A and B are shown apart, each in its own frame.
Chain A
Amino acid sequence: MKERDFKIYRGDDERGELVSYKCNVSEGMVVLDVIHKIQAHQANDLACRWNCKAGKCGSCSVEINGKPRLACMTRMNELEEDKTVVITPLKSFPVLKDIVTDVSWNYEQNQKIKPFTPSKKDTEKGFVMMQKDVDRVQHFRKCIECYLCQNMCHVIRDNEGKDKFAGPRYMTRLASLEMHPMDKADRIEDVKDVHGSGMCNITRCCTEVCPEEIQITDDAIIPLKERVVDRFYDPIMMLFRKLFGKKKETTS
């Protein structure tokens, strides 16, 4: 058991400050445990979101020492011993209270996506799809909607970008639908016009923070951009192709 120093953002979108707390930390504790302990004993009204405490629901996203992380999957012993741990809300979304942000913009993006549209109905046996043809789709579907990638994407950080680009999470979802062997809807025009794939300039910052290690940029966004280019035009993708050649897709 060791006493450690913390600073947690308290306040709302307009006003707020970093408040200092001390908390005893024992073996195996994660940052979310610390937040809960402070909540139970020092600040009953400290707002935070969480559900599963096991990295599966994507509720507890915050910034820890400036890095977007899941609070429930960040062990205290990963963080430097003698340094104050600073916990702040996600930067890309408005603060509701303390470290809880308003993520409703993400739900709005999802709503705009054409839903799964089965190409045939087989209620007797179900679909016939080979495992190798769904591997990539399943990889995308591991997403826990933590929005850490959304938070990280510089296009979305810039508020105006929010009107133009759905962000890496929804590029991943679009890719999972487009690559689903039994889906018949066409979303390529939407990918470009509604969801703004052209805004992404392949910096890969989103991929770096994904707790599910989804290859967002390489496996989802680039193939989507390829499809857009094949039909329309994407300046960044044209340049990318010039530099690296056309990438072959493994899954159709």
Chain B
Amino acid sequence: MTLTLGEFSMLDISGIKRLQFDVLVIGAGGAGLSAAISASQEKDIRVGLICKSLLGKAHTVMAEGGMAAALGNVDNRDDWKIHFRDTMRGGKMLNNWKMAEIHAKNAPKRVRELEHWGAVFDRTKDGLINQRNFGGHRYPRLAHVGDRTGLEMIRTLQDHGIHQGIDIQMECTALDILKDKSGKVSGIVCMYRETGEFIVFETKTLIFATGGAGKSWEVTSNSWEYTGDGYGMAYEAGAELIDMEFNQFHPTGMVWPPSVKGILVTEGVRGEGGILKNSEGKRFMFDYIPEKFANETADTEEEAARWLQGDKDARRPPELLTRDVVARAINTEVKAGRGSVHGGAYLDIATQRSAEDIKRKLPSMYHQFKVLAELDITKEPMEVGPTCHYFMGGIKVDAETSMTNVDGLFACGEAAGGMHGANRLGGNSLSDLLVFGNVSGVEASKYARKLKSIPKSDDEDIKRIIKSATSILNREKGNNPYLIHEDLQKNMQYNVGIIRTKDEIVDGISKIDDLKSQFKDVKAAGTSQFNPGWHEALALRNLLISSEAVAKSALLREESRGAHTREDFPSERKEWLEYNIINKKGKGGKMETIKEKRSNPDPELQRIANSSIEDLDKEVKLDHKK
């Protein structure tokens, strides 16, 4: 059903295409594909998968460094307990304890499964899956393929997934969730980007694997797809958003030339020995080692160099501190006037590794700089600066089932919140996608099996959703969606960026209110066929909801923890460790932002996370002997 001008006033949806599923996954990155595959293994479950882009193009391809799993192939001292402890400390103990446990325990299994589906990881000398060092990980832990691990993951899942009987719908945008009278998920209204045709998917469950909302900021590593669709739709359907103030700024994005500003430079560069310097040539990270990590971090260049040579007694270089620490350090250096020519820091691998090593270990970085910045990273340092990268927060889910507070709505991957706490370790994302993609696929199938039939949607809801989409095209005139988006990005960059203060956040919120009213009159020119202006306008609602949740949570959390830095509350505050911040749609349609007390952790998990590394190493050694 293609709608043209004028038709919408007497909207008749009797001819609309409808498809039925038990489990419908929205989003086909690593998490969505994993979820769909695991649901497809369940008996008598009809599985669908829809993606905004073509299959195999989701942002997972941009993940470079690897997936963290305590396989112990390179250093057999590694164990899920140590991975868990690293994850909790990286997340400043705000992580959902249970999720962090499930993740660390299951990651190795999922990585090996991926290998059995055809992924070809780099090998150790003994022919096992090789693992590399990464920020915040005590031992070499990241299974990888050069610096294109995400591509390997998505291609493997794609090529495996297409033979599992999953109904895949490409270039299809989800608009809003449908629920039955009792509040259970009953479907979702979508639109094919190519034709502008609407379609209703009737389904017992929805799994949101919709990624984050990195497109809210100006400098971002995210592509056009990351507009918080999952956050927006889930919020509108009554789901809760958790930890939205924690937005990871990856310390190393490209800063020059302007057109590529924000594009990711893998942490693998530092994992392979790359060092950070300021304009005075000083290796500044030694000045930024937090108390908490002092025991585990080298304090001289000499020790750092020994570590790189593989000396097991040497401590890791400070460039491999967690992302929040490194991003803030670069920010501080630049603000103090010691930035690189184009306002970043120098990332130097050329003096640390041979040209041959660099080309072999970091081929796509070599290529990326050569083409986009006309710079040879085997000879010259790169210029890098923080770029918005990842949402730790997201849709609140139950740790063991991935289900939200809306019956039948599940979420996994970046779309879900909780697992990473206040800061995510590099490499924990790809493993998260596999682990919780799998969990949500299995659990959604279980839930679906309990329902005799698909809950019934209300046609009036379908009409309302379609009308609100078509009105953007049908309006005589109105605001340019691209310009609203640009303003939002500037606003978030300036007012709710890496370093935040009360006054700026308050300004930011009132600007968002402004933009929300401009959005009411947004107008896209042209027809409904493959119309990027229209698509941009449809995404705006979700971007605005996501940004509002970020800003309001950032205002409420009066402390600095992990990726959330408040200049007016510069340190961690103990009392805040007891709370998560939740955003939900309140009565009257206004966003409610509230503190929610965290539940008490399992004492055993608490003990592991709080053990000294020496004690835990000893304990693991004993465990392994058994």
Residues of A within 8 A of B (CB): 26-30, 33, 39-41, 44-59, 73, 75, 96-98, 100, 103, 107, 110-111, 115-116, 118, 121-123, 125-131, 134, 137-138, 141-145, 173, 177, 180, 183
CB neighbours (8 Å) of A116 from chain B are: 117-118, 159-160
Is A51 a contact partner of B61 (Cβ separation < 8 A)? yes
CB neighbours (8 Å) of A121 from chain B are: 116
Tell me whether A45 and B162 are in contact in the complex, defined as CB-CB below 8 angstroms, given that A59-B54, A59-B57, A130-B123 are known contacts. no
Is A110 a contact partner of B159 (Cβ separation < 8 A)? yes
| A27, A33, A53, A126: most-surrounded residue (chain B CB, <10 A) | A126
**In whole angstroms, what is the CA distance A179 to B464 when docked?**
54
Is A40 a contact partner of B159 (Cβ separation < 8 A)? no
Is A126 a contact partner of B128 (Cβ separation < 8 A)? yes
Query: What are 5 A-B residue pairs whose CB atoms fall within 8 Å in the complex?
Result: A41-B482, A44-B481, A127-B116, A129-B120, A141-B145
Is A103 a contact partner of B54 (Cβ separation < 8 A)? yes
The one of A44, A100, A143 that contacts B524, using a Cβ cutoff of 8 Å: A44
Query: Which 7 interchain pairs have the tightest Cβ spacing?
Result: A28-B257, A45-B526, A44-B533, A116-B118, A128-B127, A47-B530, A40-B482
> Is B529 on the interface with A (CB-CB < 8 A)?
yes
CB neighbours (8 Å) of B486 from chain A are: 40
**Chain B minimum-CB-distance residue to A41:** B482
The one of A51, A115, A142 that contacts B57, using a Cβ cutoff of 8 Å: A51
> Is B129 on the interface with A (CB-CB < 8 A)?
yes
CB neighbours (8 Å) of A51 from chain B are: 53, 57-59, 61, 223-225
Is A46 a contact partner of B532 (Cβ separation < 8 A)? yes
B577 to chain A, nearest CB (A): 37
Tell me whether A56 and B257 are in contact in the complex, defined as CB-CB below 8 angstroms, given that A30-B372, A115-B118 are known contacts. no
| B115, B126, B259: most-surrounded residue (chain A CB, <10 A) | B259
Q: Which of B363-371, B452-460, B552-560 lies at the interface?
A: B363-371
Is B532 a contact partner of A96 (Cβ separation < 8 A)? no
Is B116 a contact partner of A118 (Cβ separation < 8 A)? yes
| B109, B117, B223, B536: most-surrounded residue (chain A CB, <10 A) | B223
Is B155 a contact partner of A141 (Cβ separation < 8 A)? yes
**Chain B minimum-CB-distance residue to A45:** B526
> Is B163 on the interface with A (CB-CB < 8 A)?
yes
Is B118 a contact partner of A54 (Cβ separation < 8 A)? no
CB neighbours (8 Å) of B53 from chain A are: 49, 51, 59
| A39, A51, A183: most-surrounded residue (chain B CB, <10 A) | A51
The one of A27, A52, A103, A145 that contacts B59, using a Cβ cutoff of 8 Å: A52
> Is B596 on the interface with A (CB-CB < 8 A)?
no
Tell me whether A44 and B482 are in contact in the complex, defined as CB-CB below 8 angstroms, given that A127-B115, A134-B120, A138-B120 are known contacts. yes
The one of A27, A45, A126 that contacts B257, using a Cβ cutoff of 8 Å: A27
**In whole angstroms, what is the CA distance A56 to B371 when docked?**
13
Is B530 a contact partner of A100 (Cβ separation < 8 A)? yes
> Is B425 on the interface with A (CB-CB < 8 A)?
no
Is B257 a contact partner of A50 (Cβ separation < 8 A)? no
**In whole angstroms, what is the CA distance A58 to B225 when docked?**
15
CB neighbours (8 Å) of B54 from chain A are: 49, 59, 103
> Is B152 on the interface with A (CB-CB < 8 A)?
yes
Is A48 a contact partner of B532 (Cβ separation < 8 A)? yes
Tell me whether A131 and B224 are in contact in the complex, defined as CB-CB below 8 angstroms, given that A44-B525, A52-B62 are known contacts. no
Is A57 a contact partner of B159 (Cβ separation < 8 A)? no
Is A126 a contact partner of B525 (Cβ separation < 8 A)? no
B381 to chain A, nearest CB (A): 18
Is A28 a contact partner of B116 (Cβ separation < 8 A)? no
**Chain A minimum-CB-distance residue to B155:** A141
The one of B56, B57, B146, B256 that contacts A28, using a Cβ cutoff of 8 Å: B256
The one of A41, A47, A73 that contacts B531, using a Cβ cutoff of 8 Å: A47
**In whole angstroms, what is the CA distance A30 to B112 when docked?**
39
**In whole angstroms, what is the CA distance A122 to B116 when docked?**
8
B474 to chain A, nearest CB (A): 14
**In whole angstroms, what is the CA distance A27 to B373 when docked?**
10
CB neighbours (8 Å) of B465 from chain A are: none
**In whole angstroms, what is the CA distance A53 to B160 when docked?**
26
CB neighbours (8 Å) of B20 from chain A are: none
The one of B113, B162, B373, B536 that contacts A110, using a Cβ cutoff of 8 Å: B162
**Chain B minimum-CB-distance residue to A76:** B259
Is A73 a contact partner of B371 (Cβ separation < 8 A)? yes
**In whole angstroms, what is the CA distance A128 to B62 when docked?**
27
Tell me whether A57 and B57 are in contact in the complex, defined as CB-CB below 8 angstroms, given that A28-B259, A126-B112 are known contacts. yes
> Is B534 on the interface with A (CB-CB < 8 A)?
yes
Within 8 A of A (CB), among B16-56: 53-56
Contacts beyond the supplied A57-B61, A129-B123, A144-B61: 19 A-B pairs with Cβ under 8 Å = A30-B259, A33-B259, A44-B480, A45-B527, A45-B534, A51-B53, A51-B57, A54-B62, A56-B62, A59-B57, A98-B530, A115-B159, A116-B117, A126-B111, A126-B112, A131-B123, A137-B120, A138-B122, A141-B152
CB neighbours (8 Å) of B126 from chain A are: 128
Within 8 A of A (CB), among B85-130: 109, 111-113, 115-118, 120, 122-123, 126-129
**In whole angstroms, what is the CA distance A4 to B524 when docked?**
26
Within 8 A of A (CB), among B532-574: 532-534, 536
Tell me whether A53 and B525 are in contact in the complex, defined as CB-CB below 8 angstroms, given that A125-B128, A134-B123 are known contacts. no
**In whole angstroms, what is the CA distance A96 to B530 when docked?**
8
**Chain B minimum-CB-distance residue to A176:** B120
CB neighbours (8 Å) of A103 from chain B are: 54
B222 to chain A, nearest CB (A): 10
**In whole angstroms, what is the CA distance A46 to B59 when docked?**
22
CB neighbours (8 Å) of A130 from chain B are: 123, 127
**In whole angstroms, what is the CA distance A179 to B553 when docked?**
52
Is A54 a contact partner of B263 (Cβ separation < 8 A)? yes
CB neighbours (8 Å) of A98 from chain B are: 530
Is B163 a contact partner of A115 (Cβ separation < 8 A)? yes
**Chain A minimum-CB-distance residue to B52:** A51
CB neighbours (8 Å) of B310 from chain A are: none
> Is B260 on the interface with A (CB-CB < 8 A)?
yes
CB neighbours (8 Å) of A129 from chain B are: 120, 123, 127
| A39, A97, A137: most-surrounded residue (chain B CB, <10 A) | A97
Is B368 a contact partner of A55 (Cβ separation < 8 A)? yes
**Chain A minimum-CB-distance residue to B473:** A45
Is A28 a contact partner of B152 (Cβ separation < 8 A)? no
**In whole angstroms, what is the CA distance A86 to B144 when docked?**
39
Is A27 a contact partner of B258 (Cβ separation < 8 A)? yes
**In whole angstroms, what is the CA distance A58 to B158 when docked?**
15
CB neighbours (8 Å) of A122 from chain B are: 112
A50 to chain B, nearest CB (A): 7
Tell me whether A28 and B118 are in contact in the complex, defined as CB-CB below 8 angstroms, given that A49-B54, A116-B160 are known contacts. no
> Is B194 on the interface with A (CB-CB < 8 A)?
yes
> Is B148 on the interface with A (CB-CB < 8 A)?
yes
A141 to chain B, nearest CB (A): 6
> Is B345 on the interface with A (CB-CB < 8 A)?
no
**In whole angstroms, what is the CA distance A43 to B163 when docked?**
40
**In whole angstroms, what is the CA distance A27 to B258 when docked?**
8
B502 to chain A, nearest CB (A): 33
Tell me whether A128 and B256 are in contact in the complex, defined as CB-CB below 8 angstroms, given that A45-B525, A73-B371 are known contacts. no
CB neighbours (8 Å) of A138 from chain B are: 120, 122, 145-146
**In whole angstroms, what is the CA distance A125 to B118 when docked?**
15
**In whole angstroms, what is the CA distance A49 to B56 when docked?**
13
CB neighbours (8 Å) of B61 from chain A are: 51-52, 56-57, 144
**Chain A minimum-CB-distance residue to B482:** A40
CB neighbours (8 Å) of B258 from chain A are: 26-28
**In whole angstroms, what is the CA distance A204 to B534 when docked?**
41
> Is B71 on the interface with A (CB-CB < 8 A)?
yes
**Chain B minimum-CB-distance residue to A30:** B259
**In whole angstroms, what is the CA distance A54 to B253 when docked?**
12
CB neighbours (8 Å) of B530 from chain A are: 47, 96-98, 100
The one of A30, A75, A97, A141 that contacts B120, using a Cβ cutoff of 8 Å: A141
A99 to chain B, nearest CB (A): 10
